[in-house]
Amino acid sequence: MDLKVKVGSEPCAVRLTLSATQGRGLCGFLTGGVAHVGGVAYAVPRPKSSGEGLTADLSTICGPGHKDVYAAQAVAKQLCLATNETVCICAGLHLDHASQAQIKEMMDNCTQAAQQAAEAYKKMGGQ
C-alpha cells in the first residue's frame, strides 16, 4: 500500500511518499525544493522504560553537509510513534539561499505531512 501527501506551497512545499509493508514497517521519501538524497532516519518503536507509552530508538545516516536529516528524524519518529511501526525516511530538502523563515515553514510542513500520512495510513487499515 502506497500513499502520497503534499503540504504547503512552493517553494516551501514538501512531499511525503510512503510504502507500507502491512504492519511490518513504513518506508518513505521526503522531498521539497530540489529532490535528492540528503539523509536517512530509521525509527524503531519500543515501550518507554517507565512502562507507560512508547518511545522510539532513532538511527541516522547523513550526507556530508546535509541538514535535511533533521527533517528525516522528525518525520520518522512522528510516524513511528503514531503507527507503532518501524519507519525509514530518506529525505532530500533543498532551497538555494533559504531564509530562516523558509526553513521553519518547510519543517512545519514536514510535521503536517507526517500527521496527515499517519491519519491516512490508519484509515487505509494500518495500525
Q: Give residue 45's pLDDT.
A: 97
pTM: 0.93
Q: Which grid cell sits at 42?
A: 530509521
Q: Give residue 23's pLDDT.
A: 75
Q: Give residue 127's pLDDT.
A: 60
Q: Give residue 1's pLDDT.
A: 76
Torsion of the alpha carbons at 16, 21, 26 and 30, rounded to the nearest 10: -30
- As averages over each run of 10 residues, the pLDDT of the chain (127 residues) reads 94 96 91 93 96 94 93 98 96 95 97 97 82
Residues 77-102 as b or e (16 or more Cβ within 10 Å = b): bbbbbbbebbbbbbbbbbbeebeeee
Cα 49 from Cα 62, distance rounded (Å): 28
Cα 11 from Cα 63, distance rounded (Å): 22
